[in-house]
Homo-oligomer: A and B are copies of this chain.
Amino acid sequence: MTSIASRADDGRVTRIAATMADGREIIYFDETPDAVRVLTDPRDIPSVIPGSHVRYDVLLGEWVGIAGHRQTRTYHPPADACPLCPSTARNQSEIPSPDYDVVVFENRFPSFAGAGEIASDGTLFDTRPGYGRCEVVCFTSNHHATLSSLPPSRMRTVIDAWADRTAAMSASPGVEQVFCFENRGVEIGVTLAHPHGQIYGYPFVTPKTAAAIRSAQAHRAATGSNLFAAVLAGELADGSRIVAENEHWVALVPFAARWPVEVHLYPRRQVRDLTALEGVERAALAELYLEVIKRMEGMFDDTLPAITGVHQAPVHAADEDFRLHLEVFTIRRDVGKLKFLAGSESAMGAFVNDITPEIAAERLRAVDTGTERVAK
């Protein structure tokens, strides 16, 4: 059992790392310096042997993960057996401690695991080990909380944890891109109700990021300028799709939004990933992100099944034009109605959005987020 406690650079978070019963790593990010955490995992659980690999689709030019061992993963456990709650006498969960602020641990059923250098086999049927890392991030020990009910200081701690993990995974051999994300809502397949997100360290550059880098490179070749900066400047000049902004960040509905309600959060300066953000920028992101979520929650008198993704530059990207940003979208298109990805979207990648982006932005701006928002 190894444990390492350390204070983050700016002293606001205490970081305590330990090892779980089956050898996985768990890391507490605590807002109070004197938090006492149980570092011994008393369970007798067998190790899951990750059998994943990745295959290259030569027709679409994309990597696909194949992870046959994940079919047995935990599926809608009852609330009193939640694996993400702090442990109690009755429920020995993934987190041995009786409480935590933010905790990160390796996923027991990872899509990617292990580390090493990998090389192409040079054929049309290229298979590689599924190296990489998958982690779970619990945002609060309160099973029934929602992210938007948490104070900005907690969101800031989540961002600190994301940045910590981005730095750590980026240093792991074989990891090409780190992706922090949150799925929420049974409507999009979430099987654990406890407020949490995930972090993937992929052994390849994801298709969306690869596409954006291609576009940015073409734009720089044609104009000599940064495509992300040009788009953000255009959005700010137009204004019709801006949802909210502060000194360091801008939240907007993108011009060609694919989802009924979709908001992107961009830093005003060129930053490649979370690790490059200053403390004030992290704090400003926490504030604006919670405001965006509350505005999205306020648009429909219904649940908000949603996905938040933190888009970061690939670990080894020579291209420095890619700009860190968050993308948040919901599949809710109306009260009682969801946007499904059917033939056009799933088979052809051609999205048809039922809500005009400017109308979505107007409705988001009109949401009364109340005064609770600034309570800390």
Contact = CB atoms under 8 A, between A and B. Distances in A.
Contacts of A56: 256
A190 B342 contact: yes
A64 interface: yes
Given A111-B352, A179-B348, A343 B255 contact: no
A139 interface: no
Given A64-B351, A66-B357, A227 B258 contact: no
A150 to B, nearest CB: 19
A55 to B, nearest CB: 4
A97 interface: no
A158 to B, nearest CB: 15
Contact of A346 (B59, B341, B352, B357): B341
A359 B67 CA distance: 12
A234 B68 contact: no
Contacts of A200: 344, 350
Q: Is the interface of A mostly helix, strand, loop or mixed?
A: mixed
Interface string A329-369: 10001100111111110111111111111010000000000
B309 A68 contact: no
Given A214-B61, A231-B124, A254-B57, A71 B189 contact: no
Contacts of A334: 71
A333 B340 CA distance: 17
Nearest to A347: B309
Interface stretch (A11-19, A98-106, A205-213): A205-213
Contacts of A75: 337
Contacts of A230: 124
Interface-central residue, A71, A206, A228, A256, by most chain B CB under 10 Å: A256
A260 to B, nearest CB: 9
8 contacts: A55-B357, A59-B215, A62-B349, A125-B238, A181-B343, A189-B339, A190-B342, A209-B348
Interface of A: 52, 55-68, 70-71, 75, 111, 124-125, 179, 181-183, 188-190, 198, 200, 202, 204, 206-209, 211-212, 214-216, 219, 227-228, 230-231, 234, 238, 254-258, 307-309, 311, 327, 329, 333-334, 337-344, 346-357, 359
Given A60-B211, A66-B356, A206-B350, 7 more contacts: A55-B255, A61-B214, A179-B343, A182-B343, A206-B349, A307-B347, A308-B343
